[in-house]
Chain A
Amino acid sequence: MSLTLDTVSKVMGGEVHIAPTTIEFASGSMNVLLGPTLSGKTTLMRLMAGLDQPTSGRVFWQGRDVTGMRVQDRQVAMVYQQFVNYPSMTVYENIASPLRLRGFASAEIDAKVRAAAAMMKLNESQLGRRPLELSGGQQQRCALARALVKEAGLVLLDEPLANLDYKLREELRAEIPKIFEESGAIFVYATTEPHEALLLGGNTACLWEGRVTQFGATPSVYRRPTDATTARVFSDPPMNFVALSKAGDELVIDDARLAADFPTFNRLADGRYIAGFRANHLRIERGSERDLAFHCRVTGTEIGGSESFVHVLHGADRWVALVHGVHDLPHQSDRTVFVDPAHVYMFAPDGALACAAAYADAG
């Protein structure tokens, strides 16, 4: 079982929603579509499901061309960000409806519905109620149960947890990989949050403005982004960037010169680059002698319990440092921030990766 999109594109009203994309999801794989809002995650999913027809390209399911096939005839299940259930039916009937349509015997339907409900932790009294009488989390469990009970080969989850509160989200997210393992289906999970992609594992496809920038095993996409766009999408807060040029064993940033005697930098030819490093690698204390130091201006701090987001301005570049502990740095004060060269990615001016951070190769 595999799903292949072959140079699939979608243009609506002269606007490109999906640039020609070729991607293959292996059978029984967990796949994450990661991208900001309006990057085309939902559109791509709708093309996979057959809810929309591609402007060009073909969709193959298990090697068979299914482009233009009716949704009803496909082996898909889908869960939306909004809690979509049939309000006029009970939760039980909601979950049973795909099975009823396929003409299962009622004893079998009952067994399957109860199994799915048990997996989604919906109890007997909730099964008898209507979806709108349940809490948001329970409504989404109902929608998930309906998607699972169908035993479809392709399960599409479009930001299923985005509308839930933090605690419920954590709880359900922990269950999704388990459900996935039991089902043996291809899961495609859309999300805007990098850490959700990392938690789910599997493969990740990064999307940016309707283009898949990189597709591969989640940890490797995180560690070795092939371009600056992927790195930006797959970092939260976004990756910090600074334009610089390398001359011999020095890095020149505007007027400042930094010693850059570091193995990964030494392999690079002299020239212009964009350096990138994640927020959690930017420190406000010096870590070691080899750290690169930048003089910045603090523009604000957000304290989030055990960690603080320190917003700084380096020249015209806005950076964020994610540091442990509670720090309340005075607004508009000058501050030197540090980054270990082992955590610095170098991108060519066109965005392509020139060298990955040393730590990525080590791990």
Chain B
Amino acid sequence: MRTRWIVPTLYILFLMLPIYWLLNMSFKTTNEILGGFSMFPAEFTVESYVKIFTDPTWYSGYINSIIYVVINMVISVSVALPAAYAFSRYRFLGDKHLFFWLLTNRMAPPAVFALPFLQLYSTMGLLDTTLAVALAHCLFNIPLAVWILEGFMSGVPKEIDETAYIDGYSFPRFFVKIFMPLIASGIGVTAFFCFMFSWVEMLLAKTLTTVQAKPIAAVMTKTASTSGYELGLLAAAGVLTIIPGAIVIYFVRNYIAKGFAMGRV
């Protein structure tokens, strides 16, 4: 009984250690990081954070990332809503195969698509824009969004649709006024997963951008290679990269549990 807390505590320590270390380093100077091993910053400094928030080459990375992630979320959810509705409500030729094929899109590593995307987008003059990255991420986010939303939509009885039609609702009005509120948590979960995959994806984001639309992940790797080892700065950037995800997941934590219960997340 008394030793019950040991295993979970060790586990949480194990998980939190790298994150703590990142936080610890972000408040140290690079010299201190390279100089020795300490659990707490000897000279506490927020200089790294100040640099990130004032230097455009740094903060523009965050802005670019946020822009393409948001564009991607909007595109993915708005495209996936009608698609998922069709999969959940109608039977058509090859519907099950098509539904499964959507999922297989997620099985190919993004690297496979990097080269075709590079050439296609450069032909269309989309290279080095946030839109290019947002569109590229749709490749794996739309199938995922359709998959998750279909699960939530199938949980709504078809009779509600029919009752609405009998009451006189047109399809668009029914969809927006009655149906979307019913699957609001599903939309939240979907948006979160689109956010997450788009936010952490680096390969396509790096390949399709050069200067103007460079995402934060690319900024971080470049800084590490050109300006020597600015480890404090890098750690601070890492902390700032974790924060948006942590905020978003806090808001959808209850819905995600629901999504897991439905077997769709």
> Which A residues form the contact surface with B (CB < 8 A)?
49, 51, 70-72, 76-78, 80, 82, 84-89, 97-98, 101-102, 143, 146, 150
Asked if B107 is at the interface (CB within 8 A of a chain A CB), the reply is no
Q: Which of A51, A72, A86 sits near B160, CB closer than 8 Å?
A: A86
Q: A78-B163, A80-B159, A82-B157 are in contact. Are A88 and B168 (CB under 8 A)?
A: no
Asked if B165 is at the interface (CB within 8 A of a chain A CB), the reply is yes
Contact A78 B157 (CB under 8 A): no
- The docked-state distance in angstroms from the alpha carbon of A228 to that of B168 is 42
**B142-171 at interface with A (beta carbon < 8 Å):** 157, 159-160, 162-170
Asked if B182 is at the interface (CB within 8 A of a chain A CB), the reply is yes
- The docked-state distance in angstroms from the alpha carbon of A70 to that of B166 is 9
Query: Could you give 6 example pairs across A and B, Cβ below 8 Å?
Result: A72-B170, A77-B166, A80-B159, A80-B163, A97-B167, A101-B168
Q: A86-B178, A88-B181, A88-B182 are in contact. Are A101 and B169 (CB under 8 A)?
A: yes
Q: Which of B159, B165, B181 sits near A72, CB closer than 8 Å?
A: B165
- The docked-state distance in angstroms from the alpha carbon of A97 to that of B164 is 9
Q: Which residues of A contact B182 (CB under 8 A)?
A: 87-88
Q: Which of B159, B166, B173, B178 sits near A71, CB closer than 8 Å?
A: B166
- The docked-state distance in angstroms from the alpha carbon of A87 to that of B167 is 15
* Interface size counted on chain B using CB atoms at 8 A: 16
Among B157, B162, B181, the one with the most A-chain Cβ atoms within 10 Å of its Cβ is B162
Nearest first, the 10 closest Cβ-Cβ pairs linking A and B are: A88-B181, A101-B168, A98-B167, A84-B159, A71-B165, A80-B159, A84-B163, A72-B168, A78-B166, A86-B178
Among B164, B167, B181, the one with the most A-chain Cβ atoms within 10 Å of its Cβ is B167
A139 CB, nearest partner CB in chain B, Å: 13
A335 CB, nearest partner CB in chain B, Å: 48
Contact A49 B164 (CB under 8 A): no
Q: Which residues of B contact A102 (CB under 8 A)?
A: 168
> Which B residues form the contact surface with A (CB < 8 A)?
157, 159-160, 162-170, 173, 178, 181-182
Contact B178 A88 (CB under 8 A): yes
Among A78, A102, A150, the one with the most B-chain Cβ atoms within 10 Å of its Cβ is A78
Known: A101-B169, A146-B163, A150-B167. 16 other contacts (CB 8 A): A51-B165, A70-B165, A71-B166, A72-B169, A72-B170, A77-B166, A80-B159, A84-B157, A84-B159, A84-B160, A85-B163, A87-B182, A97-B169, A98-B167, A98-B168, A101-B167
Q: Which of A80, A82, A146 sits near B167, CB closer than 8 Å?
A: A146
Q: Which residues of B contact A143 (CB under 8 A)?
A: 163
Q: Which residues of A contact B170 (CB under 8 A)?
A: 72
- The docked-state distance in angstroms from the alpha carbon of A150 to that of B173 is 18
Q: Which residues of A contact B157 (CB under 8 A)?
A: 82, 84
Q: Which residues of B contact A98 (CB under 8 A)?
A: 167-168
- The docked-state distance in angstroms from the alpha carbon of A259 to that of B85 is 68
B50 CB, nearest partner CB in chain A, Å: 46
Closest to B160 in A: A84
Q: A88-B182, A97-B167 are in contact. Are A71 and B160 (CB under 8 A)?
A: no
Q: Which of B166, B168, B178 sits near A49, CB closer than 8 Å?
A: B166
Contact A86 B166 (CB under 8 A): no
- The docked-state distance in angstroms from the alpha carbon of A298 to that of B166 is 51
Closest to A74 in B: B166
Q: Which residues of A contact B167 (CB under 8 A)?
A: 97-98, 101, 146, 150
Q: Which residues of B contact A97 (CB under 8 A)?
A: 167, 169
Contact B166 A76 (CB under 8 A): yes
B122 CB, nearest partner CB in chain A, Å: 46
Closest to B181 in A: A88
Contact B181 A71 (CB under 8 A): no
Q: Which residues of B contact A87 (CB under 8 A)?
A: 182
Q: Which of B162, B168, B169, B181 sits near A51, CB closer than 8 Å?
A: B162
Closest to A86 in B: B178
Q: Which residues of B contact A49 (CB under 8 A)?
A: 166
Q: Which residues of A contact B166 (CB under 8 A)?
A: 49, 51, 71-72, 76-78
Q: Which residues of B contact A77 (CB under 8 A)?
A: 166
- The docked-state distance in angstroms from the alpha carbon of A223 to that of B225 is 95
- The docked-state distance in angstroms from the alpha carbon of A140 to that of B76 is 38
Q: Which residues of A contact B169 (CB under 8 A)?
A: 72, 97, 101
Q: Which residues of B contact A88 (CB under 8 A)?
A: 178, 181-182
Closest to A80 in B: B159
B238 CB, nearest partner CB in chain A, Å: 41
Q: Which residues of B contact A78 (CB under 8 A)?
A: 162-163, 166
- The docked-state distance in angstroms from the alpha carbon of A85 to that of B159 is 9
Q: Which residues of B contact A80 (CB under 8 A)?
A: 159, 163
B71 CB, nearest partner CB in chain A, Å: 28
Closest to B184 in A: A88
Closest to A97 in B: B167
Q: Which residues of B contact A72 (CB under 8 A)?
A: 165-166, 168-170
Q: Which residues of B contact A76 (CB under 8 A)?
A: 166
Q: Which residues of B contact A86 (CB under 8 A)?
A: 160, 163-164, 178
- The docked-state distance in angstroms from the alpha carbon of A94 to that of B188 is 25
- The docked-state distance in angstroms from the alpha carbon of A303 to that of B167 is 45
Q: Which residues of B contact A85 (CB under 8 A)?
A: 163
A96 CB, nearest partner CB in chain B, Å: 10
Closest to A98 in B: B167
Among B157, B160, B168, the one with the most A-chain Cβ atoms within 10 Å of its Cβ is B168
- The docked-state distance in angstroms from the alpha carbon of A49 to that of B163 is 11
- The docked-state distance in angstroms from the alpha carbon of A192 to that of B159 is 20
B180 CB, nearest partner CB in chain A, Å: 9
Q: Which residues of B contact A82 (CB under 8 A)?
A: 157, 159
- The docked-state distance in angstroms from the alpha carbon of A353 to that of B157 is 43
Closest to B178 in A: A86
Closest to A146 in B: B167
